A and B are shown apart, each in its own frame.
Chain A
Amino acid sequence: MGISREQIAQRIAQEIKDGQYINLGIGIPTLVANYVPAGMEVMFQSENGLLGMGEFPTEDEVDADLINAGKQTVTAVTGAAYFSSADSFAMIRGGHVDLTVLGAFEIDEGGSIASWMIPGKLVKGMGGAMDLVAGAQNIIVAMAHANKKGESKILKSCSLPLTGVNCIKKVVTDLAVLEIKNGKIHLLERAPGVSVEEIVKLTEAELIITGDIPEMQF
């Protein structure tokens, strides 16, 4: 049931607009770069100090001094710029990045997000995620709707330590496209072949469902 990681990325890419500066987080968000709509030009920002991130290099182009925030080797596109971490987060905190896509462990009705640690079990660190959610006007979260045990990750209130409060407005999961407005989560679209009932069953938060919910289009 539900769509693949690639399809989540593909659906998020439909939100991209021509001329945007975009920051993609590690994991599913990185895949969004593969689905930029034809005819559109965008610049990807990597918070370790690169605006204008290109595709992965050929074997001959590999350069240890040119990586992305996921520490993968990358290339730089025409018109790219390099800068320090302080400059990079001035762009992010200062609201200059048009679209941010990042992953999450949990999301809640208030638009809060938890993504950086599971107490006593897992510590990833927040990296740049707290700055990104504080700085971006337009954030899309890419995540699994529920865990392998079928426990919802779309909650009334996040249980894990927060990355940011009241900052998330749009979420794309393997089951649904959700919008968070005024403390309520609205179901906008469902994954092909997934029923509204199935989504409701795997959503702890209350879902606002208005009219027929269309399937995502690819």
Chain B
Amino acid sequence: MAGFNKVVKTYDEALAGLKDGMSIMVGGFGLCGIPEGLIDQVKDLGCKELTCISNNAGVDGFGLGKLLEKRQIKTMIGSYVGENALFEQLYLSKEMEVILTPQGTLAEKIRAGGAGIPAFYTATGYGTLVAEGKETKEFNGRMYVLEESLTCDYALVKAWKADTMGNLVFRKTAANFNPMIATAGKITIAEVEEIVPAGELDPDDIQTPGIYVQRVIKGEFEKRIEQKTVKA
């Protein structure tokens, strides 16, 4: 690798250095915009005792569901269990620690983490289980909860296009958590559909500047749809 060329050719290089007990963030909303190949690589590496921060945990047998099946995650931080039967079972049996976090608070914790802000106040969750044990404060007659930000060792994101310098462009609702997660990793790896030469992306169109991204790999995506719904 020379200069600002962030492109790696293999998944071994993409996740080099990932070890047991580390924290990872994984982009995506449900199965939309998830770094499929990077998740498979975490599964193949077999790393255990991971802390995993992601809005959802995939479905049974796909996406992060694969890491749940292999019991690689010790602590899961996310907002929605939904229809993932194994996730719900691991949570209710306390086999996996689950820290359910309101979706907007989760997004802001990651954004703040990447931006060097250690904590922020939000009205979200005040008076609920989410606020238990947390500092609260009144501003303009309303109560707010102090929420601490999040960063991670490895940030795994999916983008539509990257250039060789790690500048990223997302597509439609496949952006979701990916832009924030890209900013919050000590090492951020972007798995993308297409890599173009530096200079080919219009600087006006770049959503994540390459400064946040350490490695870029071209992936192959199944893009499984959770709820295919068509017009009657």
Interface residues of A (CB under 8 A from B): 46-50, 55-59, 62-67, 69-74, 76, 82-86, 88-89, 92-93, 112, 116-117, 120, 122-131, 134-135, 161-166
Expressed in whole angstroms, the Cα–Cα distance for A166 and B30 within the complex equals: 30
Q: Say how far A9's CB is from chain B's closest CB, in angstroms.
A: 16
29 example contacts (A-B, Cβ-Cβ < 8 A) are as follows A46-B173, A47-B103, A47-B104, A49-B176, A57-B230, A64-B224, A65-B171, A65-B223, A67-B226, A70-B227, A71-B31, A82-B170, A84-B170, A84-B207, A85-B103, A85-B107, A86-B179, A89-B108, A92-B104, A93-B124, A116-B100, A123-B91, A125-B80, A127-B103, A134-B125, A135-B104, A164-B126, A164-B128, A165-B128
Complex Cα spacing A71 to B232, Å: 18
Which residues of chain B have C-beta atoms less than 8 A from A84's C-beta? Answer: 107, 170, 175-180, 207
- The answer to whether B176 touches A55, judged by C-beta atoms less than 8 angstroms apart, is no
Q: Which residues of A contact B5 (CB under 8 A)?
A: none
Identify whether the interface residues of A are mostly helix, strand, loop, or mixed.
loop
Given contacts A93-B123, A162-B128, A163-B128, contact A128 B104 (CB under 8 A): yes
- A53–B127 Cα distance when bound, in Å, is 32
- Extra 12 A-B pairs, beta carbons < 8 Å, given A62-B230, A82-B172, A84-B179: A67-B30, A86-B107, A86-B111, A117-B100, A127-B80, A127-B82, A128-B103, A131-B124, A134-B125, A135-B124, A162-B129, A164-B128
Are A73 and B173 within 8 A (Cβ)?
A: no
Q: Which of B67-125 contact A (CB under 8 A)?
A: 78-82, 88, 91-92, 100, 102-108, 110-111, 122-125
Which chain B residues border A131 with CB–CB below 8 Å? Answer: 102-105, 124
Assess the A56–B33 pair: CB atoms within 8 A. no
Check B33–A161 contact: CB distance below 8 A: no
Which 10 interchain pairs have the tightest Cβ spacing?
Answer: A89-B104, A131-B104, A165-B127, A64-B223, A130-B102, A125-B80, A71-B226, A85-B107, A72-B229, A128-B103
- Tell me if B229 and A130 are in contact (CB < 8 A): no
Q: Please indicate the chain B residues that have their CB under 8 angstroms from the CB of A135 in the complex.
A: 104, 123-124
Fill in one digit per residue for B199-224: 1 if any A CB lies within 8 Å of its CB, else 0.
00000000100000000000000011
The listed residue (B31, B78, B176) touching A85 by CB distance below 8 A is B176
> Which B residues form the contact surface with A (CB < 8 A)?
29-33, 55, 78-82, 88, 91-92, 100, 102-108, 110-111, 122-130, 160, 170-180, 207, 223-232
* Residues of chain B lying within 8 A (CB to CB) of residue A164: 125-128
- Enumerate chain A residues within 8 angstroms of B124, measured Cβ to Cβ: 93, 130-131, 134-135
The reply to whether B130 and A130 contact each other, CB–CB distance below 8 Å, is yes
Chain B nearest CB, measured from A103 CB (Å): 14
- Docked CA distance A84–B225 (Å): 20
Q: Is the CB of A161 within 8 A of B128?
A: yes
Min CB gap B89→A, angstroms: 10
Give min CB distance, A172 to chain B, whole Å: 23
CB atoms of A65 and B130 under 8 A apart: no
A56 touches B92 (CB 8 A): no
Chain A residues with Cβ below 8 Å from B78 are 125
Closest to B91 in A: A123
Q: Check A65–B173 contact: CB distance below 8 A.
A: yes
Task: Tell me which of B174, B176, B177, B227 has the highest count of chain A C-beta atoms within 10 A of its own C-beta.
Answer: B176
The reply to whether B176 and A134 contact each other, CB–CB distance below 8 Å, is: no
CA distance A85 to B122 in the complex (A): 16
A residues near B128, Cβ cutoff 8 Å: 130, 161-165
Task: Report whether B32 and A62 are in contact in the complex, using a CB–CB cutoff of 8 Å.
Answer: no
* Nearest CB on A from B138, distance (A): 14
Given contacts A63-B172, A64-B225, A130-B105, contact A162 B230 (CB under 8 A): no
Assess whether A58 is in contact with B225, with CB atoms less than 8 Å apart. Answer: no
Residues of chain B lying within 8 A (CB to CB) of residue A120: 92
Among the listed B32, B103, B130, which residue makes an inter-chain contact with A89, where contact means beta carbons less than 8 Å apart?
A: B103
In the complex, what residues of A have CB within 8 A of residue B102's CB? 126-131
